[in-house]
Amino acid sequence: LIANRGEIACRVAATARRMGIRTVAVYSDADAGSKHVAVCDEAVWIGPAAAKESYLRGEKIIEVAKATGAQAIHPGYGFLSENAEFAEACEKAGLVFIGPPGSSMRAMGSKSAAKQLMEGAKVPLVPGYHGDNQEPEFLRQQADGIGYPVLLKASAGGGGKGMRVVERSEDFVAALGSCKREAISSFGDDKVLVEKYLQRPRHIEIQVFADKLGNCVYLHERDCSVQRRHQKVLEEAPAPGMPADRRAAMGEAAVNAARAVGYVGAGTVEFIANQDGSFYFMEMNTRLQVEHPVTEMITGTDLVEWQLRVAFGEPLPKKQHELGIHGHAIEARIYAENPEKGFLPSIGTLRHMDTPDAVNFELGGVAGVEPAAVRIDSGVREGDAISPFYDPMIAKLIVWGTDRTQALARLSQALADFQIVGLATNIAFLKRLVDGEAFSTADLDTGLIERNGATLFPPSKAAPAGALALAAVALIEGEKRLSAGASANAADPWGQAQGWRLNGDYRRVLSFGDEHAAGLPGGAYQVGVVYHPQGWELDVNGVKQPLTVSGHAGATLSVRLGEQSMHGAVRRDGDLFHVFSNGEHHMLAYNDPMAHAGELEAAGGRLTAPMPGKVVAVLVEAGQEVKKGDPLVIMEAMKMEHTIAAPSSGLVEEVLYAVGDQV
Ligand code: ADP
Ligand code: ADP
Ligand code: MG
């Protein structure tokens, strides 16, 4: 039974199928038609969409496992994967939990306790205090002794939450208070630890694996330094610039850490490293990690297969000296989010998803055979929705190359080929990140994204003439096709959209908008189209050029504008034209002169939620005067607060929603 959803559930099912193991999926209301349900042999409904009422219901999941005759439970990551009580309840019910014993999870579950344990196992630690004394004044003295800046961390924390950087002794007590408040509300435990805050550190983690027979190996490192809000964005293996002796030292430290807690299965020991290479234990994640594929690709292993074998008592498939490193792999997490708006998650339907050609990936590549150049792990298909209930990950794009340079080139290319229509994604941002100087020269540290904000978030540019031409061609070709389909008689001149006119040529102006165009005269790009008997002429930005369409297959267009040849795909989503060309994605809103007549008045007093969520505050009441831009309602969705402001000045007539309402 796979006690998870999405990408990781599909990933586990793929290996199980290859090994001839039957799989049972569980699903919530939101996932009834989802990919993970389709790829498993059997699927059982476990509750409503909210994770608390479905994927986090341990007893229900165990009940389903027993009813379906499952022998083992794979928890994936997130949800119940690091829940010691759940692991123990599985064992008690006679089910094999595919993961470490509950005792190992408990030992590593508290960052403070884990550090105490690691101290005993001679694993290097970041200088800091991780004891029980939580007196503010005492902790401040500890911080003074460590030297500023220091980092306060919730001992029970995770997912980048519950951390505060403190720059000066004077600020310590206030920061401690706010850190403890976040810790208690997010993790139900306000214990914190204090650490030296390293400058320009790298996040380097070691994949470890242990079996039930006392063997434990490391499968080398992953560099996950490229982060936003302390969460990983790009991950690669091996870590650039890692000397063999340090790799061995970190690997052995990680194995010691795992042995110290009686570890079994797949685990990751996270280290924070200085630029000079010195490294310190940070925490251990007692599960399979999101970024595990990069390790699989450089070591030629299938870590899920290893997990299944180990869970059933087999020895590790390989010994330490048999685990080499072959080539270089990089993973990019493709998220439904808006990097320009503080990485705000975006939800909606994947109207169109074209992924780069995945060069067939055989899980657990055969020795001597090169791994795939491109691998895509995804839990969604075209037409599926990214809902507000779960993690907004769309896919993981993993590339392999004989060296980092080749892997980088493949990643850049694959990102250019990734076409998604229907919701905002981080693809363009990832491409800038991957092509940028800092990442391509491996000048890595956890502040890379912040430091390179200027190049990673360039001001919006005017749509290039080529993109406008492609959009215009898609539009007029579309009209031609429509009219050809609509008219019963193909020769009927009244039913055609060829632009034929009795006297002289027909000229029309197409108007497209985007955020940049808002500043242009007329607030839009104007593309003039002249229909000559011998073909079209296009007028983009005042330059008139003949236009010929040399190829048109599905959404893919090849056109020639004057001297310039252009190639790209145009996907239409309502009035929005998505132009994918030159590795760029331009969204052009067609201002259809007919479509929106009369809509303006209706828009008057309407407020729109940026995404489904809960109203957490109503700031106005009936009868109140408001000015344009005044905050009216605050809602919470996907762990973030969104303020709904007045679209115009006026009087509040009635408030239709109250705190707690789902909108
Ligand atoms: P990692 O260390 O691998 O980045 P974190 O420790 O940040 O992982 O968080 C735990 C993992 O659980 C994350 O990778 C997160 O994406 C994953 N996760 C969280 N929510 C979900 C979900 N709804 N479905 C699947 N995975 C999830
Ligand atoms: P989480 O459980 O949220 O994953 P971690 O302890 O693994 O928490 O830390 C998450 C991230 O915070 C790290 O990957 C790193 O970027 C940053 N970080 C953690 N500890 C330090 C430190 N002592 N100095 C600088 N950055 C740190
Ligand atoms: Mg971590």
- Say yes or no to pLDDT of 301 above 90: yes
Nearest CA to ligand 2 atom 2: 158
CA of 167 to the centre of ligand 1 (A): 30
Q: Which of 376 and 361 is assigned the larger pLDDT?
A: 376
Q: Which atom of ligand 1 is nearest to the CA of 7?
A: 25
Is residue 270 within 8 Å of residue 467, measured between CB atoms? Answer: no
**Average pLDDT for 519-543:** 87
* 509 strand-pairing partners: 528
Which pLDDT does position 367 carry in this prediction?
Answer: 43
Instruction: Identify the residue whose C-alpha is closest to ligand 1 atom 5.
Output: 159
Identify the pLDDT of residue 359.
Answer: 57
Q: Calculate what percentage of the chain has a pLDDT beyond 90.
A: 73
Indicate if the pLDDT at residue 595 is higher than 70.
no
Mean pLDDT of 642-663: 85
Q: From atom 10 of ligand 1, which residue's Cα is the shortest distance away?
A: 78
> What does the pLDDT read at residue 628?
82
Q: What is the pLDDT, as a whole number, of residue 364?
A: 40
Average pLDDT of the chain to the nearest whole number = 91
Mutating to test ligand 2, I would choose from 230, 283, 286, 290 the residue with most ligand atoms within 8 A of its C-beta, which is 230
Closest alpha carbon to 139 in 183, 100, 172: 172
pLDDT at 366 over 50: no
C-alpha 282 – ligand 2 centre gap (Å): 7
**pLDDT at position 345 over 70:** yes
pLDDT at 365 exceeding the cut of 50: no
Mutation to probe ligand 2, out of 166, 203, 451 (largest number of atoms < 8 A from CB)? 203
- Ranked by mean pLDDT, the top range of 212-226, 380-394, 513-527 is 212-226
Give tens-digit pLDDT for 231-289. 999 999 999 999 999 999 999 999 999 999 999 999 999 999 999 999 999 999 999 99
Cα–Cα distance measured from residue 328 to residue 61, given in angstroms and rounded to the nearest whole number: 38
C-alpha 201 to ligand 3 mean position (Å): 14
Q: How far is the CA of 291 from the centre of ligand 1 (A)?
A: 10
Position 408 confidence tier, pLDDT thresholds 50, 70, 90: very high
Q: Is 126 in the pocket of ligand 2 (CB under 6 A)?
A: yes
How many angstroms is it from 630 CA to the middle of ligand 1? 36
pLDDT confidence tier of residue 149, bands split at 50, 70 and 90: very high
Question: What is the rounded CA–CA span in Å between residue 279 and residue 272?
Answer: 6
Residue 518, pLDDT score:
82
Ligand 2 neighbourhood includes 201 CB (under 6 angstroms): yes
Show the tokens assigned to 536: 């079209």
CB atoms within 10 A of CB 479: 14
Distance CA 248, CA 321 (A): 11
Are the beta carbons of 514 and 461 closer than 8 angstroms? Answer: no
* pLDDT tens per residue across span 472-507: 999 998 888 777 665 555 566 666 666 666 667 788
287 carries an active-site annotation = yes
What pLDDT score does 535 carry?
82
How many angstroms is it from 78 CA to the middle of ligand 3?
A: 12
pLDDT at position 640: 64
- 346 Cβ inside 6 Å of ligand 1: no
For ligand 2, say whether the CB of 327 is within 6 Å of any of its atoms.
no
Contact 267, 256 (CB under 8 A): no
Helix axes 6-19, 303-311, angle to 10 degrees: 70
Nearest CA to ligand 1 atom 22: 391
Q: Which of 290, 294, 380 to mutate to test the pocket of ligand 1 (most atoms within 8 A of CB)?
A: 290
Atom of ligand 1 nearest to the CA of 232: 4
From atom 17 of ligand 1, which residue's Cα is the shortest distance away? 78
Average pLDDT over residues 367-390: 85
597, pLDDT greater than 60: no
Residue 107 has pLDDT above 90, yes or no: yes
What pLDDT is recorded for position 275?
A: 95
Residue 381 tokens read as 């298909």
Residue type at 364 in one-letter notation: G
- The rounded Å distance from CA 52 to ligand 2 centre is 27
The CA distance from 418 to 430, in Å, is 11
Averaged pLDDT, 510-537: 88
Catalytic entry in 287, 375, 410, 571: 287
pLDDT in tens, 573-587: 888 999 999 889 999
Residue 486's pLDDT is 59
Cβ of 227 less than 6 Å from ligand 2: yes
pLDDT band at 361 (very low <50, low <70, confident <90, very high): very low
CA of 112 from ligand 1 middle (Å) equals 21
For ligand 2, whether the C-beta of 115 sits within 6 Å is no
| Residue of 5, 27, 2 lying closest to 15 (CA atoms) | 2
Q: Which amino acid is at 474?
A: A
Q: Residues 112, 115, 116, 117: what is their CA dihedral angle, to the nearest 10 degrees?
A: 120
How far apart, in whole angstroms, are the C-alpha atoms of residue 144 and residue 166?
A: 11
Angle at 90 between CA 84 and CA 92, to 5 degrees: 100
pLDDT at 635: 82
Chain center to CA of 363:
22
User: What global pTM score does this model have?
Assistant: 0.87
pLDDT of 657 reads 87
Question: Among the listed ranges 182-191, 298-307, 439-448, which one has the minimum average pLDDT value?
Answer: 182-191
How confident is the model at residue 266, as a pLDDT?
98
Question: Which tens digits make up the pLDDT trace of 451-462?
Answer: 999 999 998 889
DSSP 478-525: HHHHHHHHH-SSTT-GGG--S---SSS-EEEEEEEE-TTGGGSGGGSE
Distance between CA atoms of 633 and 613, rounded to whole angstroms?
Answer: 12
**Ligand 1 centroid, distance to 392 Cα (angstroms):** 10
pLDDT at 600: 45
Is 550 in contact with 567 (CB distance < 8 Å)?
A: no
Give the ligand whose atoms come closest to the C-alpha of residue 390: 1
* Mean pLDDT, range 287-293, rounded to an integer: 97
For ligand 2, whether the C-beta of 109 sits within 6 Å is no
Residue 22 scores a pLDDT above 90: yes
Q: What is the CB neighbour count within 10 angstroms for residue 287?
A: 25
Q: For 49-104, how does the pLDDT look when each residue is reduced to its tens digit (9 = 90+)?
A: 999 999 999 999 999 999 999 999 999 999 999 999 999 999 999 999 999 999 99
Ligand 2 atom with the shortest distance to the CA of 270 = 7
Q: What is the dihedral of CA 292, 296, 297, 298, to 10 degrees?
A: 100
Mutate to test the pocket of ligand 1, among 77, 284, 292, 390 (most ligand atoms within 8 A of CB): 77
* Cβ(182) – ligand 2 distance below 6 Å: no
Q: Is 283 in the pocket of ligand 2 (CB under 6 A)?
A: yes
Q: Are 471 and 526 in contact (CB under 8 A)?
A: no
What angle in degrees, to the nearest 10, is found between the helix axes of 84-92 and 58-67?
30
Residue 369 has pLDDT above 60, yes or no: no
- 390: Cβ below 6 Å to ligand 1? yes
Q: Is 388 helix (H, G, I), strand (E, B) or coil?
A: coil
CA distance 110 to 539: 65
Grouping H, G, I as helix, E, B as strand and the rest as coil, residue 27 is strand
Lowest mean pLDDT among 159-173, 214-228, 320-334, 520-534: 520-534
**What's the gap in Å between 164 CA and the centre of ligand 1?**
21
Could you give the CA distance from residue 191 to residue 171 in angstroms, rounded to a whole number? 19
Q: How confident is the model at residue 602 (pLDDT cuts 50, 70, 90)?
A: very low
pLDDT at 357: 75
Look at strands 72-73 and 96-97 and give their pairing. Answer: parallel
Rounded to whole angstroms, how far apart are CA atoms 135 and 149?
19
- Closest ligand relative to 36 C-alpha: 1
- The reply to whether ligand 2 has any atom less than 6 angstroms from the CB of 230 is yes
Ligand nearest to the CA of 154: 2
Mean pLDDT of the 36-49 span: 97
Kindly report which listed range (78-92, 149-163, 197-211, 475-489) carries the lowest average pLDDT score. 475-489
Q: Could you give the percent of the chain with pLDDT greater than 70?
A: 92
Of 163, 167, 198, 449, the one to substitute when testing ligand 2's pocket (max ligand atoms within 8 A of C-beta) is: 163
Q: Which atom of ligand 1 is nearest to the CA of 55?
A: 23
Res 143 pLDDT > 80: yes
